[in-house]
Structure 1
Amino acid sequence: MKFDLSNLRGDITGGITAGVVALPLALALGVASGLGPMAGMYGAIVVGFFAALFGGTGPQISGPTGPMVVVLAGLFASLSGDAALIFTAVMLAGVIQVAFGLFGLGHYIRLVPYPVISGFMTGIGVIIIILQLNPLLGHDSPSGTLGALGYLPTALSDVHVINLLLGLGTLALVYSWPARFGRYLPAPLAALIAGTLVAYFALDVPVLGDIPTGLPELHLPTFSGDQMLLVVEAAVILAVLGSLDSLLTSLVADNMTRDRHHSNRELVGQGIGNTAAGLLGGIAGAGATMRTVVNIRSGGRGRVSGMTHALVLLAVALGLGPLASNIPMAVLAGILVKVGLDIIDWSYLKRAHQGPRWDLILMAMVLLLTIFVDLITAVAAGVVLAALSFVKQVASLQIERLRNLPEHLDSDDDKAILERNGDTIALFEFSGPLSFGAAADLGHHVREHSEPGSRILILDFSSMPFLDLSAALAVETIATDARDSGKLLYLAGMNDEVRTVLEKLNGGLPGDGRFRDRSEALRVAETALERRDGDAGGALPAGA
């Protein structure tokens, strides 16, 4: 493993700063997951250390993130808090991420369309905020988004005013903390300390309570029980979501450092980190954008910074229990509301009405599915619909460009032939590979542009490198239509691969003639028409 120690001082400074920023977030996200604040701490320590050690993005800071915690909180509710199965899901997610990296899928995971990413990230931000509304009002939050929303009227009828003011004050302090102080004491940590001190000396509000300290215990995976399907499903979601989150953060780091990350190596590092986190009782993590940005701005550039961040948290965790037990739930809720608000894609929401309407609809659909159904359904539906929309757009362009009128041709002789014969010769030239979306409309397009006076149809395959089943069947349909309507069909410019596909599928080439190129097909077509006109009532001869 290569270590660049040329920026050692900056990496240590950046790592320490990132560790301080990560502390309140790790505690809050651990509580939000249902597994407790120390599970969040161990997740930040283990994922942060191993992802930095084995990953492919130098200044990346990894640890618990909002999207991962939303999945874990849902799993916690579904499994009735069975920690063994939840940690098994975290381990499986890590193994899946390692497989992603080893099979080179890092370059493909980033191909998820932006409206889909924006929709589920905004949805996750909304979920985090919804889950913190009841704690802000002084009540325990039921598991799940719908449960939290359903309990909200009850909480509103019995508001713990002091608890609410403490949470709102925490949120206000996080937003208003002066930037010049943030260099030495990050806003979330300042809010955590201030809120805890005020509550400890002056308020009676719900707090975290007893927290274990010391080194984590080993949690071996459990592969028995009726809930394994839920575990595997959650592991897949965690793996995909964590990979997307990490690689997007890697892109942010690249833009700031003018460097280039290694996608597949990053997935391997994240996978090792999550596998180790599950074994040691930590929640799943991913590359964290805010903490990575803080690290880079504080001087961090290499993997030493991420490892330093983890060691800082480890030192705190070994003696944090007695102090952390006094942290009010409202303070953590206020910090998490800030996390949720930061995850929402405000930049896109402000401009969404100016862009394509379909992208806005897609984003809104993914957002609603994320909040009210689940993440994997939202992302899967979004990717499928985005892909189908893209295929439709490409197909429309391919169909529009299919027919070449004389003025579009580069050969004067070809132009002259088409001009002399008018609509009796219909030439259709493929501009490249034909998508299955365009193939579905190919037969209709040819019929529409070859009626009623066309007598010879020419399909020019010169620019088509290959032919799939959909396109081959479309050609067969054109040949059948031409035969039924008494027209000739000439095929021109086919390479060996295209000709072989058509021959095998149809038991021989369809149509009435095969030619080397478009020019030869046009000359033969004109000759055939002249013979027909010279021999009244004679049939059109087939091509060579």
Structure 2
Amino acid sequence: MKNLLSNVKGDLTGGLTAGIVALPLALALGVASGVGPMAGLYGAIAVGFFAALLGGTPSQISGPTGPMVVVLAGLFATLSGDLGLIFTVVMLAGLLQIIMGFTGVGQYIRLVPYPVISGFMSGIGAIIIILQLGRLMGHEPPGGTIGALKYLPTALSDIDFVTLGLGLGTLVIAYKWPPKLGKVVPGALAALIIGTLVSLGLETPILGNIPTGLPELHMPVFDQSKLLLVLEAAFILAILGAIDSLLTSLVADNMTRTRHDSNKELIGQGVGNTVAGLIGGIAGAGATMRTVVNIRSGGKERLSGMVHALVLLAIVLGLGPLAAQIPHAVLAGILVKVGLDIIDWSYLKRAHTGPRWDFVLMLLVLGLTVFVDLITAVGVGVVLAALAYVKQIAQLQLDEVNNLPETSTDPEEDALLKQAGNKVRIFSFGGPLSFGAAADLGHHVREKVKNGSRALILDFSRVPSMDVSAAMAVETITSDAKAAGRHVIMCGAAAAVQTVLENINAHQSGVVVTPDRKAALAKAMALVNEPGKDNGSPGAAANFIPAK
């Protein structure tokens, strides 16, 4: 309660401003989802209030966002407008987010690579724009991105220039509204009001009858034939909402110099979306633009998000007759701005200066988002990014193997190195050894073992961890060395690495373990110089014994 009331004046100002900014966006996104403008407002109220009350980012403003609406629009078309199932999906998505919060998934969602995030956010922006192009020209295109693209030639052949002018005029006002006036009336709201007033003397499609008052409860419904579709859509909404919210939380952290609680934020978002589904609202998430407006207007604590929701609730109770006059073209113009704002222009401008692979990955995710679906885009992007990272780390691990020591700062060890010459070959591994390097590890060692070498030292002193794949690769190295008649000495392994090596290589005899490289060199020289002994003879070396 102390924190809730620690910045009352700033939070009231920030919440009021954010609520006014949210109004046209909630209406427009509700229409874009197919569920209706009031569903957008109900979603903004429920998610905005409960995410602020229970979430982990005090200054964040939540409500309907582009990514969530794109999924809902596709679901609306697939389910033929079955609102009961759509609201059930929203509730399930909320419950999944609550589970994700309690199980600590939030910390992992933030690990999605930037090119993947940039690609799917830009793809979502492109989808929003594509879906509005037909409406800007006075048509109602069929659902889905592909359907809207296929419909474009038809729309272009029969343009309603009055509607087009109204939509483009709205877009221009939203972009060019003077910043000084924007402090009093935000650009999006100004565009909504001016566009609606201009349309009163024109014949253009409007929203029509909109109910007012408190929402009705919508209990979850289940249709066994569509259960998989419902579960898949709920999962996509939960993941996208989590990513969208946590990215906005990072923006809020940078602006307020605070640190959000990812898991608590997911719980708050989950409760908000669950309630949104119950009252007939669309799903929402942390909204970057509205959060920035709130912070710049003085909002810092969770009271600001709650005030934003209450402002929208007050508007809902008496807005219906006024909102009914809003033209579709005006909302389409506002949505085009939303889509353009979502596209990651800052990265696109600099992409040619960065790693080429990251840019290719971003474009691939963008294309999959637009032409396939969001979950495939994110899944493929994350997998490819992870494989690229594993390859990069594996190469670094293999490069470390090539950095073989030729001298030492320890005089005794340096003397042993000189005595060893080509008879003893040392391989010093560096960094965590994992499955990425395992496939080529044995090949690298075999390539560098000279014909005259009679002993092999495997130095793990710079290896903090090792997985089973790498340990199996080490087993292959030791087996090959012994088969070639060479002594094998392992040294310097940390306790965790030692345990893995013992578990995988314990069955091998003839592998000596020493605490450090100097001891390993001394043992190798003793074995090499011992007359009449081979690696394969009974007295060649001790069994695999843990270092003391």
TM-score (norm 1): 0.95
Deviation digits for residues 207-240 of structure 1 (CA, Å, limit 9, x no counterpart): 1121111111100011233111111111111111
Residue 471 of structure 1 is matched in structure 2 by 470
Q: Which amino acid aligns with 1:282?
A: G
String of CA shifts for 1:55-90, please: whole Å, max 9, x gaps.
Answer: 121111110000110111111111111111111110
Match of 2:461, SS? coil
- Of the structure 1 ranges 493-502 and 14-23, higher mean CA displacement relative to structure 2 is found in 493-502
Q: Are positions 1:448 and 2:450 aligned together?
A: no
Tell me if 1:543 matches 2:538.
no
TM superposition shift of 1:503: 4.1
**Structure 1 equivalent of residue 269 of structure 2:** 270
SS of structure 2 residue aligned to 1:461: strand
Q: What is the aligned partner in structure 2 of residue 41 from structure 1?
A: 41
Q: d(CA) in 2 for partners of 1:257 and 1:102?
A: 26
CA distance in 1, matches of 2:506, 2:514: 19
1:332 aligns with 2:331: yes
CA gap of 1:537–1:16, structure 2 versus 1, over 3 A, is closer
What TM-score do you get using the length of structure 2 for normalisation? 0.95
1:375 aligns with 2:374: yes
Residue number in structure 2 paired with 1:75 = 75
When residues 158 and 458 of structure 1 are mapped into structure 2, their CA distance, relative to the original with a 3 A threshold, is same
CA displacement, residues 404-452 of structure 1 (integer Å, 9 cap, x when unaligned):
5334644333333333333332111222431111122110110011133
Does 1:199 pair with 2:195?
Answer: no
Q: Does 1:130 align with 2:130?
A: yes
State the partner residue of 1:250.
249
Q: Note the 1:39-438 alignment, pairs <5 A.
A: 39-201=39-201, 203-407=202-406, 409-438=408-437
> 2 CA distance for matches of 1:513 and 1:261?
51
3-state SS of paired residue (1:319)? helix
The residue matched to 2:237 in structure 1 has which SS? helix
Task: Look up the SS of the partner of 1:462 in the other structure.
Answer: strand
More moved, 73-82 vs 421-430? 421-430
The C-alpha deviation readout for 1:267-306, integer Å capped at 9, x for no partner, is 1111100000000000000111111111111111111111
Range 403-412 or range 457-466, more displaced: 403-412
Q: Distance in 1 between matches of 2:56 and 2:400?
A: 44
Structure 2 counterpart of 1:291, one-letter code = R
- CA distance, structure 2, for counterparts of residue 538 and residue 186 of structure 1: 81
SS at 2:185 equivalent? coil
The answer to whether the 8 Å contact 1:502/1:508 transfers is no
Which stretch shifts more, 123-132 or 254-263? 254-263
- CA distance 1:393–1:537, change in 2 (3 Å): closer
Q: 1:2 Cα deviation (Å)?
A: 5.6
Is the alpha carbon distance of 1:127 and 1:410 closer, same or farther for their aligned partners in structure 2, counting shifts above 3 Å? farther
Displacement after TM superposition at 1:333 (Å): 0.6
Distance 1:537 1:477, change over 3 A: closer
SS of aligned partner of 2:432: coil
Question: Could you tell me which amino acid in structure 2 is paired with residue 120 of structure 1?
Answer: F
Q: Give distance in 2, aligned partners of 1:415 and 1:54.
A: 63
Q: Deviation of residue 485 (structure 1)? A: 2.5
Paired residue type of 2:109: I
Q: Structure 1 pair 410/237, CA: closer, same or farther in 2 (3 Å)?
A: farther
- Provide the C-alpha distance between the structure 1 equivalents of 2:216 and 2:189, rounded to a whole number of angstroms: 27
Q: Distance in 2 between matches of 1:413 and 1:3?
A: 64
Instruction: Give me the whole-angstrom Cα distance separating, in 2, the residues matched to 1:199 and 1:26.
Output: 20
Per-residue deviation, 1:466: 4.4
Aligned partner of residue 259 in structure 2, secondary structure: coil
Residues 52 and 302 in structure 2, CA contact (< 8 A), matched pair in contact too:
yes
Tell me how far apart the structure 1 counterparts of residues 533 and 506 of structure 2 sit (CA, whole Å).
34
What are the Cα deviations for residues 77-110 of structure 1, in whole angstroms up to 9, with x where unaligned? 1111111111111001111111111112222211
Contact 1:476 1:510 (C-alpha < 8 Å) held by counterparts: no
CA distance in 1, matches of 2:361, 2:415: 48
Closer, same or farther: CA 261–539 of 1 in aligned 2, 3 Å: closer
In terms of mean alpha carbon deviation, does 511-520 or 189-198 score higher?
511-520
Quote the offset at 1:543 in angstroms: 3.1
Q: 1:263 Cα shift? A: 1.6
Distance 1:497-1:182 versus aligned 2 partners, 3 A rule: closer
Q: CA deviation at 1:486?
A: 2.7
Alpha-carbon distance change, 396 to 305 in structure 1, aligned in 2, over 3 angstroms: same
- Work out the CA distance in 2 between the residues paired with 1:215 and 1:514: 75
Three-state SS of the structure 1 residue aligned to 2:425 is strand
Q: CA contact under 8 A between 2:41 and 2:312: conserved in structure 1?
A: yes
Q: Aligned with 2:318: secondary structure?
A: coil
Name the amino acid aligned to 1:75. L
Between the aligned partners of 1:368 and 1:94, the Cα distance in structure 2 is 28
Q: Secondary structure at the match of 2:306?
A: helix
Q: Deviations over 1:495-529 (max 9, x none)?
A: 55544444443452455423232212212222333
2:479 is the counterpart of 1:480? yes
- Superimposed CA distance per residue, residues 142-193 of structure 1 (whole angstroms, 9 cap, x where no aligned partner): 1111111011111111111111111111111111110000011111111111
Pick which of 238-247 and 503-512 moved more: 503-512
**In the alignment, which residue of structure 1 is the partner of 2:546?**
none
Distance in 1, matches of 2:409 and 2:392, equals 27
Contact 2:55 2:268 in 1 (8 A): yes
- Measured in 2, the distance between the counterparts of 1:538 and 1:253 equals 64
Secondary structure at 1:402 match in 2: helix
The 3 A distance-change label for structure 1 pair 460 and 64 is: same
**1:459: Cα distance to partner?**
0.7
Change (3 A) 1:310 1:110: same
Deviation at 1:462, TM superposition (A): 2.9
> What SS is found at the alignment partner of 1:489?
strand
Name the CA shift for 1:50/1:503 in 2 (closer, same or farther; >3 Å).
Answer: closer
CA contact (8 A) 2:485 2:535 kept: no
* Alpha-carbon distance change, 143 to 536 in structure 1, aligned in 2, over 3 angstroms: closer
User: Could you tell me whether the CA contact under 8 Å between 2:510 and 2:540 is conserved in 1?
Assistant: no
Q: Is the 2:482–2:535 Cα contact (8 Å) retained in structure 1? A: no
| Paired-residue identity, % | 66
Matches of 1:320 and 1:66, distance apart in 2: 23
Distance 2:247 2:484 in 1: 56
> Residue 227 of structure 1: SS of its match in structure 2?
helix
Cα separation, partners in 2 of 1:6 and 1:222, compared to 1, 3 Å? same
Residue of structure 2 equivalent to 1:22: 22
Give yes or no for contact 2:47–2:63 (8 Å, CA) kept in 1.
yes
- Residue 395 to residue 277, structure 1, CA distance change in 2 (3 Å): same
Alignment partners' CA distance in 1, 2:34 and 2:432: 52
The answer to whether the Cα contact below 8 Å between 1:502 and 1:509 also exists between their aligned partners in 2 is no
